[in-house]
Amino acid sequence: MGVARAQDASLAYEGSVGLASAVSSLVYGPAKVLYAAGGLALSATTLIWTFGDTDVAGPLFTQTVGGDYVVTPSHIIGDRELNFFGS
């Protein structure tokens, strides 16, 4: 009987972590997409105004478009860092 309760607790924990990551992604994901879209537009504009200078537009693109778009259970439990900005 003790093993069954331990398994139930583990299942409840995994379910709650999964639910937390799903709900977090519903808020985080759209915010990240809006930020990335803005960064994409800004880096494209920068590329045009600098006559194709990727030394200026490239880092801007990488910083805004890179990073995580979804919160995973690994982020919730702390195994992996959530990166809003690219590197």
The 10s digit of each residue's pLDDT in 9-55 is: 688 888 999 999 999 999 999 999 999 999 999 999 999 999 999 99
Are residues 66 and 43 in contact, defined by beta-carbon separation less than 8 angstroms?
A: no
pLDDT at 3 over 60: no
In a domain, 47, yes or no: yes
State the pLDDT at residue 7.
62
Determine the Cα–Cα distance for residues 45 and 36; give it in Å rounded to an integer.
14
pLDDT at 2 over 60: no
In a domain, 85, yes or no: no
State the pLDDT at residue 72.
95
For the chain, what is the domain count?
1
State the pLDDT at residue 6.
52
Lookup: tokens for 29: 């994901």
Give the range of the structural domain holding residue 10, as residue numbers without chain letter.
2-77
Are residues 40 and 58 in contact, defined by beta-carbon separation less than 8 angstroms?
A: no
